[in-house]
Amino acid sequence: MSFQPAHISEVQTPALVIDGAIARQNIATMAASIPGTRLRPHMKATKCTALAREQVRAGHTTFTCATPREVVGMIKAGVGNDLLLANESVDAIRLQEMAALQDSALITVAIDSDETLHAAHVAGIQHVLIDVNVGLPRCGIAPELAGQLADKARARGKTVRGVMGYEGHLMMVAENSERLAKVESCMALLRAAAHDVGGDIISAGGTGTYNLHSNTGVTEIQAGSYSLMDTQYAQLGLPFAQAVFVFGTVISSNAQWAVVDVGLKSLGMDHGNPSIDGHAVWFCSDEHTTFSPNEGAPPKVGTRIRVTPAHIDPTVAQHEAAWVVSGDDIVDRWAIDLRGW
């Protein structure tokens, strides 16, 4: 039997740690703002069915997934009854694996081309959503072509549930009124596509824009990071608190700086360096973060340090499990069971 720590000081580092009370409060705050199926929590942020169960307890039963693994894992865990793969796929094996589970949950796949429609059709996927490009140069069909793709899907017997569009390029626009104006411009494109496509769903949004859709016509919001948060989203002053960090141990120290055993292989770094309260982070290496105190002497070797990630999604995906804490006591272990593809 593996060792089960009772206190945060006993965990092997680097370790992903979640403050359970803060995460639940974040979930409750979002549920009060966007209740029930108006929110489709995005599993790409957490990849954790135990956390998704907390969202179900808050009234959310529909979920967004970024990978087929997330869709299949959610169904096998019995979490959620309406799952959207908000990503294109032409992988026959993975699409067929999802199709085989359609009796267990409503599965919908995003399509944006004849090729992705054909792949879904051959695999036996029944429900599709037309992914529309609203300004982020990633996936999504041109808005004026969305209706034609929907017609082709219906001609093949598919149920077209509506449209989705992700204004991800606007999540970190600093000024709220500017962000609101730009979101509305993007959503005008999505509404036009929705008119041509038909269906009941207009899906969009994320943690950075979740509160800007009251008048955009969007029927559901695909927010994910809000439950755990990170230092990038914290810049926006959102009503969600930091619930996750990577716990590390100081492994080297001198008069000027110290090194903690949390590095590139345990952090998502695409949004910049992590933060350490009371310290200045210098740089990260594969297994190390070098930092110095804002005042006083660096911490001694053996000191435990909380490192706060700048981007939660890839940080969580680096870890097999998260230790759930109440204060400094370990109260649970949540598997990050939806990692991979």
Res 3 pLDDT > 80:
no
Query: In the prediction, which pLDDT does 251 show?
Result: 98
From residue 327, how far is each of 21, 48, 111, 277, 279 by CA, in Å?
9, 21, 44, 17, 22
Share of the chain above pLDDT 70, in %: 99
Total Cβ atoms within 10 A of residue 296: 7
Query: In the prediction, which pLDDT does 1 show?
Result: 45
3-class DSSP state for residue 11? Answer: coil
From residue 322, how far is each of 15, 47, 107, 278 by CA, in Å?
7, 11, 28, 24
User: Residue 190 half-sphere exposure, CB side, CA atoms within 13 Å?
Assistant: 33
Give the tens place of pLDDT for each residue, 73-101: 999 999 999 999 999 999 999 999 999 99
Res 152 pLDDT > 60:
yes
Domains delineated in the chain: 8-15+239-335 (2.40.37.20), 21-226 (3.20.20.10)
From residue 194, how far is each of 8, 23, 163, 190, 317 by CA, in Å?
49, 34, 6, 6, 33
From residue 161, how far is each of 109, 139, 198, 302, 318 by CA, in Å?
10, 18, 7, 55, 34
Q: Is 140 left (phi over 0), alpha (psi -120 to 50) or beta?
A: left
Question: What is the 3-state composition of the chain as percent helix, strand, coil, each rounded to the nearest 5?
Answer: 35, 25, 40
Comparing CA positions, the residue from 341, 281, 339 lying closest to residue 310 is 281
Mean pLDDT of 15-41: 98
Read off the pTM.
0.96
Query: In the prediction, which pLDDT does 100 show?
Result: 98
Mean pLDDT of 209-225: 96
**Averaged pLDDT score across all residues of the chain:** 97
Residue 100 in tokens? 């085989």
Mean pLDDT of 178-187: 95
Give the tens place of pLDDT for each residue, 253-310: 999 999 999 999 999 999 999 999 999 999 999 999 999 999 999 999 999 999 999 9
Query: In the prediction, which pLDDT does 60 show?
Result: 98
Query: In the prediction, which pLDDT does 293 show?
Result: 95
Q: How far apart are CA 245 and CA 230, in angstroms?
A: 9
Query: In the prediction, which pLDDT does 2 show?
Result: 65
Backbone angles phi, psi at 146, to 5 degrees: -60, -40
